[in-house]
Structure 1
Amino acid sequence: MIDVAVRLALRAYPPSFRERYGGELEALVEDTGARPSVVADLLFGALRAWLRPVMPDESVERRRRRMQASVATTWVSWCAALYTLPVLHFVLSEEPRPTPDLVRRLLDVAQYAMYGAGLILLLGVLALLAESSRTGNWSAWRPLVALIPTLPTWVIAPLLLAFASIDPLSYWVAAVAVFGPMAFLITAAVTPAVVITRFRPSAKVLRLLALSGVAVAFAVTTTGIACVAAMNTADAAQTVTMPILAVTVAASAAALVSSGRGAKAALHREQLQDAV
């Protein structure tokens, strides 16, 4: 069982990291042994490798990986902000006081901006699909298979919640109804970012994705601004709004910083080499 966990932990590292350090890491595990603490260290290292990707010394490849990391970070940030919007609307609807007009307008602007950013992301997905059709590189899309086992819980969650409300003793049903969709949302945020890293798009598509990420980052920022404005309104639900505020502010900062670096790399004059 530990050996399986070690293999999965090693596979959790970014492809670029495994390509450069995979052999050394496997040799180190063989020397130290496959203990639970080693598995935990590997998983923590994998998370750190995704958050802080290893950049090679070559400027062209370094810019390519910078843009890939920027696109992946922007996608995760957009998902985080998108998921917090309905929660914020629900919290404000439960407040005894009416929501101020300014906050409502900001929430509307944030919602439309996020939907517009979703259309931009959809165009990027279509560009990747077109390139996959041209090159036959479909193996990079395999991480999306992880969505299949969690998708049914998203679909049947309302029915499970309705059943749990009728039978208060069905705690496990309520748990599946809550944590199942949560697992799907987390998977939907993470797996496309893994696809981008594995795919290695052509220079043309990669520039398009990196530059469009700037617009997506500003859409995420509108959600953060709306959340800050709504903070003073939801006095009765501070325990809920504080995590929402933390998530949206962190997502906004990450999207702005990462998309700015990606756009800078995309606009660099030095010619990028296609990987396909």
Structure 2
Amino acid sequence: MINMAGRLALRAYPPSFRERYGGELEALVEDTGAGPSVVADLFVGALKAWLRPVMPDESAERRRRRMQASVATTWVTWCAALYTLPVLHFILSEEPWPTPGLVGGLVDVAQYAMYGAGLVLLVGVLALLADTSRTGSWDAWRPLVVLIPTLPTWVIAPLLLMFASIDPFSYWVGALAVLGPAASLVTVAVTPAVVVTRCQSSAKVLRLLALSGVAVALAVTMTGVACVAVVSGVVMNTGDAAQLVTMPMLAVTVAVSAAALVSSSRGARAALHREDPVELGVDV
């Protein structure tokens, strides 16, 4: 029998993967057991499956899933870059080294680009909602329910931090205040991506989402450039302690920028490919 952790790891795989290999993978886990190492391997495999989705042989369905994967990846990378911006502003305001005007300007440009990309994403969400209202497939939006229990953490976190500041020994309270909003941010990034992969959108909406993802990827890349500039200044003007904090952030930002560019370009290429006469979906 598979325990809760094992079932959660199996559910972490993309719907396309579970549709094709879910039964075999579940039977394998039942035979081997869902120990900690197996669960860890499953989560790693789920991450790889999201980054490199299973593509069927049929070219029309293959392009559909490529666009879905591209849109989902672009959303996650946009969230990651958006979360980086407040940290960059904090570094510029707190670090003792003089901030060059060019670095501050890059961060401002990245911020406006990310806000513009947010408007592009909002248009895509409205198009997806309109398409879902036409088809009636609201079950695909069910993963968003996970957001409900995580949102109150933003209200509870300040109270927990206040208590932790009064009682210096309550480190676990302060950790809980940080981990709660962090879990909420991860949920905001992941659940909409799951919705996109579950929705059976029309070809017109999928093409719109995939092509708009290029603009979002450029905004994410602009944030990556700004992060490189800020971290370079930190490395040149501060000690090792500050570098220990900024270097992981730099690695994550550069990684999401590269992922956004690669995935959005593949999605746009699939959206512009019209040689196959078989449509990706039913357009009205």
TM (norm. structure 2) is: 0.91
Letter in 2 for 1:267: L
Secondary structure of 2:201 counterpart? coil
Matched with 1:164 is 164
Matched with 1:78 is 78
The 1:27–1:108 alpha-carbon spacing in structure 2 relative to 1, beyond 3 Å, is same
Unpaired runs of at least 5, structure 2: none
Matched with 2:18 is 18
Superposition map of 1:1-276 within 5 A: 2-234=2-234, 235-236=237-238, 237-269=242-274, 270-271=276-277, 272-274=279-281
The 1:233–1:31 alpha-carbon spacing in structure 2 relative to 1, beyond 3 Å, is closer
* Alpha-carbon offset, residue 24 of structure 1: 2.0
Does the aligned pair in 1 maintain the 2:220–2:260 contact within 8 Å? yes
Does the aligned pair in 2 maintain the 1:74–1:213 contact within 8 Å? yes
The 1:250–1:34 alpha-carbon spacing in structure 2 relative to 1, beyond 3 Å, is closer
The 1:246–1:66 alpha-carbon spacing in structure 2 relative to 1, beyond 3 Å, is same
The 1:228–1:44 alpha-carbon spacing in structure 2 relative to 1, beyond 3 Å, is closer
Q: Partners of 1:250 and 1:30 in 2: how far apart? A: 35
* Alpha-carbon offset, residue 184 of structure 1: 0.7
Secondary structure of 1:55 counterpart? coil
* Alpha-carbon offset, residue 2 of structure 1: 4.3
Q: Partners of 2:280 and 2:108 in 1: how far apart? A: 42
Letter in 1 for 2:251: A
Cα shift readout 1:253-273 (whole Å, capped 9, x = no counterpart): 100111001000000013533
Q: Partners of 2:16 and 2:73 in 1: how far apart? A: 16
Q: Partners of 2:30 and 2:168 in 1: how far apart? A: 50
Does the aligned pair in 1 maintain the 2:2–2:29 contact within 8 Å? no
Does the aligned pair in 2 maintain the 1:164–1:171 contact within 8 Å? yes
* Alpha-carbon offset, residue 275 of structure 1: 6.0
Does the aligned pair in 2 maintain the 1:211–1:263 contact within 8 Å? yes
Q: Partners of 1:13 and 1:41 in 2: how far apart? A: 12
Letter in 2 for 1:63: R
Does the aligned pair in 2 maintain the 1:12–1:43 contact within 8 Å? yes
Root-mean-square deviation over aligned CA pairs? 1.8
Cα shift readout 1:242-262 (whole Å, capped 9, x = no counterpart): 112111111111001110010
Secondary structure of 1:168 counterpart? coil
* Alpha-carbon offset, residue 34 of structure 1: 4.2
Secondary structure of 1:213 counterpart? helix
Does the aligned pair in 2 maintain the 1:72–1:197 contact within 8 Å? yes
The 1:41–1:86 alpha-carbon spacing in structure 2 relative to 1, beyond 3 Å, is same
Does the aligned pair in 2 maintain the 1:68–1:197 contact within 8 Å? yes
Q: Partners of 2:154 and 2:136 in 1: how far apart? A: 31
Letter in 2 for 1:66: R
The 1:6–1:228 alpha-carbon spacing in structure 2 relative to 1, beyond 3 Å, is closer
* Alpha-carbon offset, residue 50 of structure 1: 1.3
Unpaired runs of at least 5, structure 1: none
Does the aligned pair in 2 maintain the 1:2–1:35 contact within 8 Å? no
Does the aligned pair in 1 maintain the 2:74–2:263 contact within 8 Å? yes
Cα shift readout 1:93-136 (whole Å, capped 9, x = no counterpart): 11112311111111100000000001111111111111121211
TM (norm. structure 1) is: 0.94
Q: Partners of 1:263 and 1:106 in 2: how far apart? A: 27
Does the aligned pair in 2 maintain the 1:153–1:176 contact within 8 Å? no
Does the aligned pair in 2 maintain the 1:88–1:241 contact within 8 Å? no
- Greater alpha carbon shift after TM alignment, 153-162 vs 87-96: 153-162
